[in-house]
Amino acid sequence: MSKYPNTFLKRHKIDHSYSKLGYPYDNAKIESFHFLLKRKMIYQFRFPSIAAFG
């Protein structure tokens, strides 16, 4: 993970979780949530830039 996301997470007091190596199943619930979020919100709109999204 690059420095920027880690800095953003720390600034907003968000704990990041990583999967164990070779065991991706522990993130299945959050991956499903992200898919739903993208399908329902992000893919339905056109944003003029990344800055407009955040």
Q: Note the pLDDT tens digit of each residue in 6-28.
A: 788 888 888 777 767 766 667 77
Q: Reply yes or no on whether the pLDDT at 2 is more than 70.
A: no
Asked if 53 and 47 touch (Cβ cutoff 8 Å), the reply is: yes
Angle CA 24–7–51, to nearest 5: 95
The tokens describing 24, both together, are: 């991706």
Asked if 27 and 19 touch (Cβ cutoff 8 Å), the reply is: yes
Q: Reply yes or no on whether the pLDDT at 3 is more than 70.
A: no
> What does the pLDDT look like over 28-51, one tens digit per residue?
777 888 888 888 877 777 777 777
Q: Is 23 helix (H, G, I), strand (E, B) or coil?
A: strand
Amino acid type, 1 = M
Sequence ranges of the domains in the chain: 19-54
Residues in the chain: 54
The tokens describing 32, both together, are: 């499903």
